[in-house]
């Protein structure tokens, strides 16, 4: 088992070793079942974790539903999947250790397990001790989540603001290989003319799934990854990042180790610990 470094992190490994020793194995078991039933859920859970950590830190604020007092929560800003899956995992954990394991930690464990189940990773440790936030704002998403159309310098700055390096950026971008993207994200690279940096054969295949906007038969279905996001393609516009991408592609084992370390690092962004925040009973609502 790989145990990434916890330098400068307030979290700790095996946080629930005494209070809920079956927590991580329960999350793993339920996550495996969810992904076995729907293989796309691995990508959904990984994306949820990324969005959660980049907005207000890894505090499960992405999971909160709108309320009468706050209709504009984070989950209203962008279409994401996996909320029901997280609720299912949380319910399983609550059944054995009520009120102990935070939703933020459950999401982190599920993201780790996604890498193992969907990505073929050797299992690695994910630190815990996160607490759940009580604030969720749509505007925070717009301010913090990197747009798919960002150029490389802006993308680097976006990650740097979260304490992540260029190497972390390139390494974590490989997670798109777990995932899928909506046609609307990359139609700008297909129409009215194909982006010259996109493989022509691949572009033709995409056009059969995603016709030009405004034409009949536009298919909203998801299409498989490769390098669909403009921000991903931007990694090829720098000698350093392009070389890093090539190295990651050529040496999957090394990339997996680096990805595990980068995921743990990302999972420490602005976490709530100690008595800050709360441990939600249900992930979609704050405790009453």
What CATH number did the domain enclosing 60 receive? 1.10.520.10
Judging by beta carbons within 10 Å of its beta carbon (0-12, 13-18, 19+), is residue 115 exposed, middle or buried?
buried
Residue 71 within a domain: yes
Could you list the residues known to form a binding site for substrate, using ranges: 146
Q: Looking at residue 56, what is its pLDDT?
A: 95
List, as one string, the DSSP characters of the chain: -B----TT-S-BTTTTTTT-TTHHHHHHHHHHHHHHH-TTHHHHHHHHHHHHHHTTSSSSGGGPPP-SS----GGGTS----HHHHHHHHHHHHHHSTTTS-HHHHHHHHHHHHHHHTT-PPPB---B--BB-S---HHHHHHHSPPTT--HHHHHHHHHTTT--HHHHHHHHGGGGG-EE-HHHHGGGTSSS--TTS-HHHHHHHHHHSPPTTSTT-----EE-SS-SHHHHHGGGSHHHHHHHHHHHH-HHHHHHHHHHHHHHHTTTT-B-TTSSB--SBTTB---
Residue 256 within a domain: yes
Full pLDDT tens readout for the chain, 288 residues:
567 666 667 899 999 999 999 999 999 999 999 988 888 898 889 999 999 999 999 999 999 999 999 999 999 998 899 999 999 999 999 999 999 999 999 999 999 999 888 777 889 999 999 999 999 999 999 899 888 778 899 999 999 999 999 999 989 987 766 644 446 556 777 888 888 866 676 667 667 656 676 543 322 332 333 443 446 678 878 889 888 887 877 787 888 899 999 999 999 999 999 999 999 999 999 998
Residue 211 within a domain: no
CB neighbours of 182 closer than 8 A, spacing ≥ 6? 79, 220, 222
CA pair distance 235, 158, nearest whole angstrom: 14
Q: 100-122, pLDDT tens digit by residue?
A: 999 999 999 999 999 888 777 88
Instruction: Give me the number of domains the chain comprises.
Output: 1
Residue 60 within a domain: yes
CA pair distance 234, 153, nearest whole angstrom: 9
Q: Give the structural domain span for 127.
A: 23-176+249-266
Q: Looking at residue 46, what is its pLDDT?
A: 92
Residue 86 within a domain: yes
Residue 59 within a domain: yes
Catalytic residue among 47, 51, 56, 137: 51
Neighbours of 66 (CB within 10 A): 14
51 in catalytic set: yes
CA dihedral 278, 262, 114, 108 (to 10 degrees): 0
Residue 52 within a domain: yes
Q: Looking at residue 191, what is its pLDDT?
A: 84
Say which residue the tokens 């464990």 belong to. 109
Residue 3 within a domain: no
| Residue 8 C-alpha from the chain's centroid | 22
Q: Looking at residue 248, what is its pLDDT?
A: 77
Q: Looking at residue 284, what is its pLDDT?
A: 98
Model pTM? 0.81
Could you list the residues known to form a binding site for Ca(2+), using ranges: 52, 55, 57, 59, 61, 219
Q: Looking at residue 104, what is its pLDDT?
A: 99
- What region, left, alpha or beta, does residue 273 occupy, with left being phi > 0 and alpha being psi -120 to 50 degrees? beta
């Amino acid at each position: 088992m790989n145990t990434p470094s916890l330098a400068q992190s307030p979290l700790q490994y095996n946080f629930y070793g005494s209070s809920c020793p079956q927590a991580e194995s329960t999350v793993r078991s339920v996550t495996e079942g969810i992904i076995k039933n729907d293989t796309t859920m691995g990508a959904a859970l990984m994306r949820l974790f990324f969005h959660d950590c980049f907005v207000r830190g890894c505090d499960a604020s992405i999971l909160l539903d709108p309320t009468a007092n706050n209709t504009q929560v984070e989950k209203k800003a962008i279409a994401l999947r996996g909320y029901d899956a997280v609720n299912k995992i949380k319910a399983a954990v609550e059944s054995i250790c009520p009120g102990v394991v935070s939703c933020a930690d459950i999401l982190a464990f599920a993201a780790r397990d996604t890498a193992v189940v969907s990505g073929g990773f050797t299992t690695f440790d994910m630190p815990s001790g996160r607490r759940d936030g009580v604030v969720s704002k749509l505007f925070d998403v717009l301010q913090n989540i990197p747009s798919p159309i960002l150029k490389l310098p802006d993308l680097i700055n976006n990650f740097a603001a979260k304490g992540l390096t260029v190497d972390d950026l390139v390494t974590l971008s490989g997670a798109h290989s777990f995932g899928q993207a909506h046609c609307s994200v990359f139609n700008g690279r297909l129409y009215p003319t194909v982006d010259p940096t996109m493989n022509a054969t691949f572009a033709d295949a995409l056009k059969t799934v995603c016709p030009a906007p405004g034409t009949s038969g536009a298919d909203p279905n998801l299409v498989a990854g490769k390098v669909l996001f403009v921000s991903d393609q931007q990694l090829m516009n720098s000698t350093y990042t392009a070389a890093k991408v090539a190295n990651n592609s050529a040496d999957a084992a090394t990339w997996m180790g680096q990805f595990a370390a980068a995921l743990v690092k990302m999972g420490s962004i602005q976490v709530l610990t100690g008595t800050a925040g709360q441990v939600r009973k249900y992930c979609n609502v704050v405790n009453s």
